[in-house]
Amino acid sequence: MKNKSNVMAIIFIFAMMVLVATIENVRGVFIPAFKREFSINDASIGLMITASSLGYILSTFIGGGLCERLGQKKVFMLGFIFLIASLGLLSVTYVFPLLLIAMFIMNVGLALTGIATNTLVPILFMSFQAVLMNVTHFCYGLGSTIAQRTSGILISNGISWRTVYLAEAVIAMVFLILLMFIKMPETHKNKHNKVANNLEIFRNKLFYFYAAGLGFYVFAEIATATWFVNFMNKVYNYNESRSSFYLALFFGIFTVGRLLGGFVVEKTGYLNTVIVSLIIALVLFSLGIFMGQQGMIIISISGLFFAIGFPTIVLSVRKVFKENPDYTTGAVITFASTINMIMNFFMGILNDKVGAHLAFYIIPISLMLSIVNVYIIYRNTKECFSI
């Protein structure tokens, strides 16, 4: 009966990840429309992303602790409430400050559902954790691909971004109702966690390498989702439909990588596989920018090698930090999200100062920094992993 409940929980999480991805990743396609309707520049878009990241950071920081105290199901429910509120607000937003507030609230919901997912999935089925984690994030990639291509077509055909957000709010409400009937494991029975024990992780230098390795990776992925359409729009004058094709292709290939990547990781190892994969992504992404319009397809193909980065690094946290892994996972993602926030704000400024073409090189630079930090972790934690 327990296994049956776990299977239902996994099915719900898979479907939820598709929805969450559609909510989060239509933003990149909507950026040109935001700029037109609110008469704002790329620096203001950077501010919007900063507000989003701030909501994500604050909620991720408390999210790990909430999972330990309340349980993941209640954290999921809280996350959906914030998502529904933000999507409803976006559907009636006509001034830029309200857009910032709505994006902040949305990312509170995204962070709570994200930390609940990343801490629950590894314990639902103890075997093949890398496979399960990567398939979970495969569903995220699937949702991203669908959302980016569909939203680009809808915008090009005169459908308002507000209408898209309203439809997502209705779907999120349905998911919240379904969640009430889904049983999930009670993983929050550890009532005696001490703050002092949690704070011990901040004395471990590996914590900061994890934060940097994950943070620069997250920026590279999120910046591609957020700025790729804007890059093609400004540099090559592509419209939303054409540019969303390349972005959707990136995430479509990325999604295939997540579906298959878990099996590769289980056979070849965790962090060493991430290092090799991200090196290939770095080479392809850099080559794609350098080649100009002909290189857009190469940037899209690089998504295959981005794929295993986030889920595998996050999963490895539990193997290195065995005490209070939920709290540690939340703290690592919080610090990583801070790096992502700073880098995205910097990206917005660079777009205005040096142009979208040069600014886009920040993404492969960030990948390189991620590789360096993951390599340092790998060299210091080999004994924690078994292939």
| One-letter amino acid of 346 | F
The residue that leads in pLDDT, 28 or 375, is: 375
Average model confidence (pLDDT) across the chain: 87
Residue percentage of the chain with pLDDT more than 90: 44
Q: What is the pLDDT of residue 217?
A: 97
Q: What is the pLDDT of residue 125?
A: 63
Q: What is the pLDDT of residue 248?
A: 83
The DSSP code for 202 is: G
pLDDT digits (tens, 9 = 90+) for 148-167: 778 878 888 888 999 999 99
Q: What is the pLDDT of residue 1?
A: 47
| One-letter amino acid of 209 | F
Mean pLDDT of 42-49: 85
- The pTM of the full predicted model, rounded to 2 decimals, is 0.77
pLDDT digits (tens, 9 = 90+) for 169-221: 999 999 999 999 988 876 555 544 445 466 778 889 999 999 999 999 999 99
Instruction: Identify the CA nearest to 173 among candidates 84, 86, 109.
Output: 84
Q: Do 79 and 109 contact (CB within 8 A), yes or no?
A: yes
Q: Is the pLDDT of residue 136 over 70?
A: yes
Q: Do 187 and 120 contact (CB within 8 A), yes or no?
A: yes
Q: Is the pLDDT of residue 318 over 60?
A: yes
Domains and CATH numbers, the chain: 2-181+201-384 (1.20.1250.20)
Residue 371 binned pLDDT confidence (cut-offs 50, 70, 90): very high
